Structure 1
Amino acid sequence: MYNDGLSIVIPSYNRKEQLIKVLDSIFSQDITTLYEVVVIDNCSDYNISEFYTHEKLRIIRNNINVGMSTNIVNPFLHCKTKWMWILSDDDITLNNSINIINNKIKDQPNNCAFKFSTEGTSTTGLEKDLSIKSLQELINYYKFDKKIRRGNLVFISNNVLNLETLYPYLGKAFEYSYTFIGHLIPIFYALDEKQLMTFSSQKIVKYIDPGDNFWSFEKVGLGLTTLSHINFDLNKEEYKKFLDVVFPITYDRLFKYYFKKRNKKGFRNYKMTYHTIYFQNLNTIEKIKYYFYSIILYLNEKRK
């Protein structure tokens, strides 16, 4: 069904200059083993093919803007190879990253996925590879000793997926695309059925701060509140940990954002987020703090 080899698939929208830099970073490497690079353009204001061409570049342009969450999972429809590196349109690949990935997939061809390390996120310090074979082990890796390794779980650009192994679960990416992490849903399902995944200590991409695009984190935060809809084989305590490690935005940070933004959606969205996913994991002091923040947001919206 799939060709052998590796493809890079990039969902993109209105980031021409950044996208060109990403493509340059790819094609400056040894690409002899790379099957193709696919850009899935979500109906941008320009046609990237007018600005960039390459014999291994294929461009798919959506007829309409299908939204960020849907376009993130569209790579599953268009990748022709067994292995897919899904890459953001503003994160720069590191030198020799393609060779690093190819060596890993040759050594562990039956893995359902690899999550590589990154430059510029908080979880880049693995000293050696770590293989996990269950959703519980993934949760335990990210949440340990009452601490959380925040940073690269929901990150897009460090994931290399085995589409043959994940094939039974690929439809779930679209079914739960509204979570805004649809690209990870097939991996979660595979791990729930004891498939093997590896966290690699090697870095393949540099995280680029999106700058003022905090609205995307707001959308992601609201989308992640719906993860509780998915019925994984986890007990109540494990599911609480799962929701906690997947959610990347602390309630303190989101409060500061909504307080500064000062609009009527702030109080509502803050309550929606933390009453459905985060609130259940707060201790008593943190719950008091949360209620205090909620009152401040409510009063802040009433100010003229």
Structure 2
Amino acid sequence: MKQNRLLTVAIPTYNRRKQIQQQVRAILPQLTDEVELMIIDNHSPYDIKALFSLEELSKMKIVVNAVNIGMSANYARCLEYPDTQWVWTLSDDDMVLPNAVNTVLNAVKEYPNAISICLNSLSDFETNKYTDFLAKMHSHVNYSMHFWMSVCVYNLSYLRSYLYCGFNELTTMIAPFITVLKYLEIKGEGQCLMLCRQIIKDTEKNTSWEKTDFLIRVSFVYDIFRNDRKKMLRTLFYGCTELNLCLLYEGLKQVHISPKNALYILRLIMFKYGIVNVIRFFPSLYFRILISLIFPKISRYVKLLTRK
């Protein structure tokens, strides 16, 4: 019954018939009386309900936005609409494992007082204070896992009153993570976990988001937490900068980011993190990006040599 439901699986989607059908049909057999499935459709150019049978529709809730509100806002609404204690945000194209719902349920029951749980991790760790959580964000892997939509579970009984923090920063494209950070900043404490429990299949897929836009928008993290810059320099900002530089370098190599945009992003990162800090902490990444920008022929030659 609805009053017994503990968890909502919230899937934001837009104009992806095949993906949402596959994901929903992977989730439906895993549902229990404790779990609700919710789809938040961002005003797709078709009737999303027509993709499913009446029996399937009876087992889920579909919310259709009156207009297209953008990807970031639709993602953030995954934390707004559920009335359960917990919400698992799930992308329509990160295919779940057959026992994923049960794995998430077990995690939230095991850690009922956590404010966020991140699964699919390479290792387990727990933090209970804001400063300890920031220290873990020194790793760009830990940092990036916290805004991989499909592995994050949020305790709305703690976070619901702080959702405005994420909505204020929709431009970053990582509003739920900003909500967690702001909760910890305000409260000073809160249990956060990363667990080595797999819920998403390993696949090599191209991301649907535009990397240039992401790298520009996520740089607002430096501005949001600018008053704690000294504390952030070797923690959150360090992980953020390392991830941004890695994505920038990969984007250049794979021609997903143009040299013109890459130069703009590099200058943005150096301005916000500091020129000296970028060169001091990430000399290898910095100079590899420079080589890719200034000496493209040398860069191609180096790539050929590394293949041999």
Query: TM class by shorter-chain length?
Result: 0.7 to 0.9
Answering whether residue 173 of structure 2 is matched by residue 180 of structure 1, we say: yes
Task: Pick the aligned partner of 1:190 from 174, 183, 189.
Answer: 183
In structure 2, the partner of 1:121 is none
Answering whether residue 31 of structure 2 is matched by residue 33 of structure 1, we say: no
Structure 1 pair 279–25 and aligned structure 2 pair: CA distance change class (3 A): farther
In structure 2, the partner of 1:79 is 82
1:116/1:204 contact within 8 Å kept: yes
Answering whether residue 112 of structure 2 is matched by residue 109 of structure 1, we say: yes
Q: Give 1 or 2: higher helix fraction.
A: 2
In structure 2, the partner of 1:301 is none
Distance in 1 (CA, whole Å) between partners of 2:249 and 2:10 is 35
In structure 2, the partner of 1:95 is 98
Q: CA deviation at 1:241?
A: 2.6
Task: Pick the aligned partner of 1:199 from 194, 197, 204.
Answer: 194
Q: CA deviation at 1:29?
A: 1.6
In structure 1, the partner of 2:122 is 125
Structure 1 pair 203–248 and aligned structure 2 pair: CA distance change class (3 A): farther
Structure 1 pair 133–239 and aligned structure 2 pair: CA distance change class (3 A): farther
In structure 1, the partner of 2:64 is 61
Q: CA deviation at 1:88?
A: 0.8
TM superposition score normalised by structure 1:
0.81
Which consecutive unaligned segments of at least 5 residues does structure 1 have? 118-123, 298-304
Structure 1 pair 78–158 and aligned structure 2 pair: CA distance change class (3 A): same
Distance in 2 (CA, whole Å) between partners of 1:116 and 1:233 is 30
Distance in 1 (CA, whole Å) between partners of 2:38 and 2:275 is 40
1:11/1:88 contact within 8 Å kept: yes
Q: Deviations over 1:202-255 (max 9, x none)?
A: 112225444264x52222211111111223784515344312323574536524
Identity of aligned residues (%): 21
Structure 1 pair 199–258 and aligned structure 2 pair: CA distance change class (3 A): closer
Structure 1 pair 231–254 and aligned structure 2 pair: CA distance change class (3 A): closer
* 3-state SS of 1:112 partner: strand
* 3-state SS of 1:161 partner: strand
Distance in 1 (CA, whole Å) between partners of 2:270 and 2:29 is 44
In structure 2, the partner of 1:42 is 42
* 3-state SS of 1:169 partner: helix
Q: CA deviation at 1:65?
A: 1.6
Structure 1 pair 15–264 and aligned structure 2 pair: CA distance change class (3 A): same
In structure 2, the partner of 1:220 is 214
Q: Greater CA deviation, 175-184 or 237-246? A: 237-246
Structure 1 pair 281–153 and aligned structure 2 pair: CA distance change class (3 A): farther
Answering whether residue 154 of structure 2 is matched by residue 161 of structure 1, we say: yes
Structure 1 pair 212–148 and aligned structure 2 pair: CA distance change class (3 A): closer
Task: Pick the aligned partner of 2:267 from 255, 266, 271.
Answer: 271
Q: CA deviation at 1:199?
A: 1.4
* 3-state SS of 2:194 partner: strand
Q: CA deviation at 1:89?
A: 1.1
Structure 1 pair 56–80 and aligned structure 2 pair: CA distance change class (3 A): farther
Distance in 1 (CA, whole Å) between partners of 2:277 and 2:61 is 45
Amino acid at match of 1:88: S
Structure 1 pair 179–197 and aligned structure 2 pair: CA distance change class (3 A): same
Give the alignment of 1:242-281 within 5 angstroms.
Answer: 242-246=236-240, 249-251=243-245, 253-255=247-249, 257-258=251-252, 260=255, 262=258, 264-277=260-273, 279=275, 281=277
Distance in 1 (CA, whole Å) between partners of 2:247 and 2:105 is 38
In structure 2, the partner of 1:171 is 164
In structure 2, the partner of 1:13 is 14
Task: Report the count of equivalent residues.
Answer: 284
Structure 1 pair 242–276 and aligned structure 2 pair: CA distance change class (3 A): same
In structure 1, the partner of 2:304 is none
* 3-state SS of 1:196 partner: strand
Q: Please give the root-mean-square deviation of Cα atoms over the aligned residues, in Å.
A: 2.9
Amino acid at match of 2:190: Q
Amino acid at match of 2:122: G
Q: CA deviation at 1:180?
A: 0.9
Q: Give 1 or 2: higher strand fraction.
A: 1
